[in-house]
Structure 1
Amino acid sequence: MSLLWLAASVLSGIALLILVPVLLRRHPVCVLDRDTVNVGLARDTKAELEADLAAARISEAEYDLALADLKRALLLDVDAVQETSASTQPTPGTAVVLAVTLPAVAFGLYLALGTPAAVDTDPVADTASASAKQGQDMDTLLEQLAARLAEQPDDARGWALLGNALMSTGRYLEAVPAYRRLTELRPTDAEALVRYADALAMAAGGDLSGEPSRLIEQALALDPQQVQGLWLAGIAAEKRGQPAVALAYWRRLAPLVANEPESYQEVRRFITRATAATESTAAGTTASPSAQPGNAIRLQVVVSIDPALLTDVKPADTLFVFAREPDGPPMPVAAVRVAALPLPREVVLDERTASLTDGSLGQYARLEIGARVSRSGDAAKHAGDLIGYGAVFDPAIAAKVSVLIDRKIP
């Protein structure tokens, strides 16, 4: 006997153990004493009559007449029964019938309405069969869609649906003509152009050179914020050995995927990699990736000052420009010290100025730039110093930031 039948039998037995003892048990029944009820009703009626008499709503003669009627009615009801405790008789016949018919009916209904054959099926085989059937169903749907599009070749939405479905199933070569037709129907649709480029590249083993790159550039000319286009354009530029071009694309892409943590982190990795490669190229080095700083950052900081405070700055004053974690310790992660004048001016924060923490600016996801004019030249803040902070930013994305000195430390 299979596990299912055994479980069903056990459950049926439990149900009978609950129901049969109830049918075999004596059940006391409480019968009310009619005398008690009648006397209680008569007492209430008499109380109402007395209240009416006291309130002068009825006369004394009316009261006597009503009281006599009440007594006469009470005396007529002489067939009351005493309160007794009876018991219902047990019903063994019903218990026997239930014990026989309940399991029989339950198993009969399952055999008629259920799926008994499913009890002995192999779940692994069922899964494989379901997967194969699902694949067959998808193939059938794609064939039906292709047949419909052959009759309605101007259905742009249908071509997009067919191309997307083929790409999702890894049939890149078959997706190419679907996207080609889509771009013929929608030549100014940036998304359609990028998907066509992606299909061409995937069909060629991931090669974005040639026609795919041309289509991506065309798409970005139509929509400079096309996310997939920026992503692929950066990859194509990196493969061409143009890390600076790739860096520019990915820096444009990063804010567009800021709400997608996984994509955002991937873009940050692209940016730090391209930044390191750009610096290596500019220095004329051929160091291996393991010898390069994995997240080299160079920040160009534009420092300006509120005109109302400019007269407080003296030629001998010192300007400190620093980067720090907005929610971290007060100690800066990078800093540079220059003459306070002239203002505005530009300074650079890079890996050399990050030696305060023996780290790299690229290891921080969020930084804040501050600038302080010090009269004493001391790195510590003092009353009378002028200070200001810039907006919080991601150092892997922002290459140029600004800070305004706008208040005096009291």
Structure 2
Amino acid sequence: MTSLAMWFSLILVIALAIVLIPFLKKRYDSEDDTQRKQNKLALISIALFVPVFSMGAYFTLGMPEFAEMQTAKPAPEQVTLVDKLEQKLAKDPKDLQGWLLLGRSSMITEDYDKAIMAFEKALVLDANNLNALLPLADALAVKSAGKLQGRPHELLKQAFAIDQENRMTLWLLGLAEKQQGNNERAAILWQDLYNLLPDNDADKPMIAKLLSTVGVQVDLPKSAVADRPLMTESQPNKPSDHINIVVKIPQELKNSWGDATAFIYAKEPTGMPMPIAAQKISVAELPENIVLSSKDEIMPNRKLSNFNEITVGIRITNSDKMNQGQVLFLQEQNWQGQKLIKFIIKS
């Protein structure tokens, strides 16, 4: 802006010189010394006044956006509760509960990198904290496509040494052992978990199904069978291995989202955040009818048919990674055996 003003002033001075100097030169010989001094003074005054006045008018009238730039207030910075928590932890990095809270919050928002960092910080402060060991193993597994090998396995064994009756530990450690082909060890862990659960616990049938995958058959207690809803002719039959989904989205909205990606997934309402099954589809090619089935399952020992209740969701982002980029649309619905799930996306 400063250089523009200087050039503008220089051009005006040159223009004035071209116009005024010849005019004054013609009168030079016919004027006395006093008149010549007055003319020179007038020339200098005009040369100084016009550029200054013109620049003032130019910036005031000729560039209204300049005035807006001067008076506009900066947009207020968006500060979330997580931001405030991170600021607090930067000042007090020994706040164990703060790191655990940041980790849990990041798991909810599916920012697994931040969750891992937070739980690692918590373990530095308390190496045997189950509230850090277990979710850290979970987050690391999510980042490695569900694999509970290596560090997650070591964390789970550490958690088991601390508390051998923790339900989450028994469940996840059983999964880790099965992934490594240790079916006998997985069976022992899941059998212990099964025996710990009350007869009317909703998870007891699921653990029985997990046990069946490692060759152990158990008889569900009568109370657990009685608690199951009976299917009647008016109720839809629950499919054992697939979920039908309808997605309605206007074509103009598809076009406006360009290269966005849709992630359709099924996950547990509580427990591991990693999906049981998922599909990734370009929004431009997103069909109206989608079926999540056994071929979309992420882990061989976590099947759609293992769960009585499932959360089904669709997440559309401007990135080809589910947990990155801007979220353009997100909706989840509870599925308990109904014929299909409908997502209606409006502009």
TM-score, structure 1 as length reference? 0.33
TM-score, structure 2 as length reference? 0.39
Q: Which has the higher contact order (CA 8 A, sep 6+)?
A: 2
Structure with the greater alpha carbon radius of gyration = 1
